[in-house]
Amino acid sequence: MGDKVDEVSDLAAAAKEALAPAQGGIVGRQAHLKILLHAAKHPWAETSGMLIGTETKGKISVTDAIPFCHAPMMAPIVEIGTAFVEEYCKSEQTPEGSKIFGWFYATSRGNVDTVPKPTLAVFKKLQTVSGTQGTCLVRVLNKNLSDESTTALDIMTLKSSGDGFSSSSQWKTELDNTKEFTKLLKEGRQDIVFDMDDFMHDSTSDWRNLNLV
């Protein structure tokens, strides 16, 4: 009887853990660098893309960033790109259990803090489509890009009221500075980042950016 009670308790605990909202996570090195390199390739444009990763016991590990746009973001590129990312996550090319965990963007303007309306719309749709409580929005902090001691990223989650974002203390980055980014920039690595816009223009452009960083 005691064993059965323990078994039920274990099952209940496991169920509770599975149903609980994800408790933040970490943006990995590869994702971090790809976000910044994508922005660096198109400094005059707004850039954006999707974040994918895995979840273990409520903690999310964002393992990769898939760049989408450096042109005005409209529904076709987002729909087609999302379909590609979903299939990519199911394939053997990504770690098992990979899912979509958020969106990243960088504005072309250094002093605009509000999240663009199309970005907000895409993010809310991602939350309903991916069914993930822990979806995050990562923003490049343009003002911090020249300071190597910072991460130059702001990781935000949607407020419970649903009408804005706030920086999340439950999210961290694997890298705590942008020294490696500076090194890659000096090597010109940003010139070989490809996004979905590039793929839609030239089908040989690889948005997976497999050996970029």
Partner 1 sequence: MEFLAEKRKDNSRDMPSRVVETGKELLRRRGARLGVEQWSVREQVFLAALDTNELDVAGSMLKEIEAQFPDSQRAGRLRGLYLEAQGKTKEAAAVYDGLLKTNEINMLAFKRKICLLIAAGKDSEAVTQLTKYLDTFQADSEAWKQLALLHIQCGSFRNAVFCLEEVIISDPHSYISALALADAKYTLGGDVVNIVDARKYYSLSLHLKEGAANPRALWGMMLATRALDEWAADATDSTGKKKQQPKGKAGSDNVAQLVQRNLNTALNMRAQEHIANMELPEGMKDLVTKVAQRFSCKA
Strands annotated E in the chain: 25-27, 47-56, 59-69, 99-106, 136-140, 153-158, 165-167, 171-173
149 binds partner 1 (CB under 8 A): no
- CA distance readout (Å), 54 to 99, 118, 181, 191: 6, 26, 24, 28
CB of 22 to partner 1, least distance (A): 27
Among 26, 33, 46, 136, binds partner 1 (CB under 8 A): 46
- Complex with partner 1: residue 3 or 113, whichever CB lies closer: 113
Residue for token digits 């042109």? Answer: 71
CB of 203 to partner 1, least distance (A): 4
138 near 104, Cβ under 8 Å? yes
Q: Which tokens hold the place of 154?
A: 């702001």
- Sign for the CA dihedral angle at 71, 75, 80, 85 comes to positive
Helices marked H in 91-186? 117-130, 179-186
201 binds partner 1 (CB under 8 A): yes
Q: Which of residues 89-108 bind partner 1 (CB under 8 A)?
A: 91, 93
51 binds partner 1 (CB under 8 A): no
Among 55, 58, 116, 125, binds partner 1 (CB under 8 A): 116
102 near 124, Cβ under 8 Å? no
CB of 202 to partner 1, least distance (A): 7
CB of 136 to partner 1, least distance (A): 22
- CA distance readout (Å), 188 to 24, 65, 109, 153: 33, 19, 22, 21
Interface map 65-84 toward partner 1 (x if CB under 8 A): -------xxxxxx-xx--xx
111 binds partner 1 (CB under 8 A): yes
Choose one: 3-11, 15-23, 41-49, 174-182; the region binding partner 1 (CB under 8 A). 41-49
Distance CA 119, CA 43 (A): 18
Residues that bind partner 1 (CB under 8 A): 43-44, 46, 72-77, 79-80, 83-84, 87-88, 91, 93, 109, 111-112, 114, 116-118, 121, 188, 191, 199-206, 208
